[in-house]
Structure 1
């Protein structure tokens, strides 16, 4: 499927900026998105469009919705939404800043920046806890099947849905754990990334084993660490052909399925949550046909 935004299936970059926009001027939304479509190649800039924007345009994107409320066993997952999401990818932080400025100017006055998260690759794809992130990501045709929409509807084939959350870690709490306790929290050995058969049921790997769901809950994770004066953590990004797999995993993590809470919550928690639809690419730019702009 060669009409998807290519950055979705590519490995994470060395550096990235995640941008969340809100709607400021409803009357210029269509024009702003048209300008963005020429700037975003889907590779260096991956774009997701939120429910509020799609709803305002009167478009019918099957599967799009707002981020739901997850409250279970004393765990509450926040929903912060967002009208537009851009993942600016590259290797030079200065280039990313200039690209973000270009995007922001192209989107004005319709959209305004609400949140910026600067992210980076740690090692070969490690979380700041030192454990590999996205070990179980499907590859090849399996990745295409789980991440991308297959549809005969115009402007939908090759699109994707992305769930985005910023998690903040308490690394001091994590560092205070014994090495075996850390391994049992994640469900893998940090030294070789091997899954632990004797890990407790609360271990993150056991909570989110994608093949253990019915139907199976496979997603493509493209998460990256972040750090600033407020703290540090992981900007979680999960692409799928729908939000079903992500929601199945989060329900189990929060104990809604069986009252067992994911051990991750001992040292980390999400502070944002949003859903977005990622349109396909046509002739090197975003294919916004499904949004029926100008109609």
Structure 2
């Protein structure tokens, strides 16, 4: 009779924890998008915290009604809002958007506590989810910027050039947008910068195609990068290329989309949204554009555009949103009545109480009046 097999050897400890689950940053380009930037009203922190674990369920409730719609939503949190919402450590790269003032052009910093980047094949799905989110936040947060994006022919911006050609793919895309061992407490997270530009469309269209191509650094029809011998050093492509200390190319993921309105003489544009594992890469691109690698060599596209917004957000993992860390303690100066209003239910720990006082094809295109 054969002897029974020996029991399996002990593993020596508990199974390793599964890796953090990122949000849906790397979903494919879609035909529609809604971009929402909000500021948190004083006392609105609890409502915002209550919404975060429900984001995935709200997306599913809308997306289930159109399974082929590819509905996705990425949430980002600004630097000032982070300390109002969460106790504990901060992401290493999180800070307010840094204004850039060059000799001729300026990239302003504008308010932004929350970002919702909603994408789908159809606008009705984006619109429905945006309505649910803003409805839940009514009285707690204020929408300070919004845009409804759409696909324009073969992924072109309204300047007529293909947008996002240099996006990395596959593993390179994940490496470009995902925080790793450099900030282990926030591994799997990302950073995102959003901007909106107003362009002088009449002045742009007055250029010849060749002049436009020299400003962008690519051919307009075929989307081929110009040779280095032809590409001007102040072209958009030349200035937005960033390399690391060993000469490696540093990349971001752009999900820019055109938007527009015909009211008030017309305002049309592209909403820039760039994801990266560190905001430093996108920030260097912007410094090159607005300040130039050499004095007076700013991005030539900026001669036809004016930056009007700029915000930086941390993109936590989906696991973080499902189970956020505790809220910060109530500040000592908070009044007793306000503490009572902000106090959690009796079943919760007092430590979780929330204070109640609490592009690059750039651009937006703006028509100038006829002269």
Please state how far the C-alpha of 1:95 moved relative to its aligned partner: 2.6
Aligned to 1:219: 252
Structure 1 range deviating more: 253-262 or 126-135: 253-262
Aligned to 1:45: 73
Asked if the contact 2:177/2:253 (under 8 Å) is kept, the reply is yes
Q: Relative to 1, partners in 2 of residues 1:34 and 1:287: Cα closer, same or farther, differing over 3 Å?
A: closer
The match for 2:173 among 125, 139, 143 is 143
Is the counterpart of residue 242 in structure 1 residue 278 in structure 2?
A: yes
Aligned equivalents of 2:301 and 2:182: distance in 1? 40
Is the counterpart of residue 286 in structure 1 residue 316 in structure 2?
A: no
The match for 1:201 among 233, 241, 247 is 233
Aligned to 1:263: 300
Q: Relative to 1, partners in 2 of residues 1:232 and 1:68: Cα closer, same or farther, differing over 3 Å?
A: same
Please state how far the C-alpha of 1:87 moved relative to its aligned partner: 1.0
Which consecutive unaligned segments of at least 5 residues does structure 2 have?
A: 1-18, 61-69, 328-351, 354-371
Offset from partner CA, 1:152-207 (integer Å, 9 cap, x none): 97762221000000122222111100111010010011121111120211111111
Aligned equivalents of 1:72 and 1:288: distance in 2? 42
* Higher gyration radius (CA): 2
SS in 1 for 2:250: coil
Q: Relative to 1, partners in 2 of residues 1:287 and 1:64: Cα closer, same or farther, differing over 3 Å?
A: farther
Q: Relative to 1, partners in 2 of residues 1:93 and 1:44: Cα closer, same or farther, differing over 3 Å?
A: same
Q: Relative to 1, partners in 2 of residues 1:249 and 1:135: Cα closer, same or farther, differing over 3 Å?
A: same
Q: Does 1 or 2 have the higher relative contact order (CA < 8 Å, sep 6+)?
A: 1
Please state how far the C-alpha of 1:267 moved relative to its aligned partner: 1.3
Q: Relative to 1, partners in 2 of residues 1:153 and 1:189: Cα closer, same or farther, differing over 3 Å?
A: closer
Asked if the contact 1:222/1:236 (under 8 Å) is kept, the reply is yes
Aligned length: 291
Aligned equivalents of 2:71 and 2:322: distance in 1? 14
TM-score by length of 2: 0.72
The match for 1:12 among 29, 35, 38 is 29
Asked if the contact 1:216/1:245 (under 8 Å) is kept, the reply is no
Aligned equivalents of 1:243 and 1:61: distance in 2? 11
Offset from partner CA, 1:193-250 (integer Å, 9 cap, x none): 1111202111111111234886743111111111113511110000001111011111
Please state how far the C-alpha of 1:68 moved relative to its aligned partner: 0.4
TM-score by length of 1: 0.90
Please state how far the C-alpha of 1:76 moved relative to its aligned partner: 0.9
SS in 1 for 2:133: helix
Which consecutive unaligned segments of at least 5 residues does structure 1 have?
A: none
Offset from partner CA, 1:77-131 (integer Å, 9 cap, x none): 1111311000111122233222111111222332222222111111231111111
Aligned to 2:51: 32
Aligned equivalents of 1:269 and 1:245: distance in 2? 22
Offset from partner CA, 1:32-74 (integer Å, 9 cap, x none): 3344454357961111111121021244222111000101122
Aligned equivalents of 1:153 and 1:237: distance in 2? 23
Asked if the contact 1:119/1:235 (under 8 Å) is kept, the reply is yes
SS in 1 for 2:197: strand
Aligned equivalents of 2:301 and 2:287: distance in 1? 14
Aligned equivalents of 1:159 and 1:218: distance in 2? 16
Asked if the contact 2:44/2:139 (under 8 Å) is kept, the reply is no
Structure 1 range deviating more: 212-221 or 12-21: 212-221
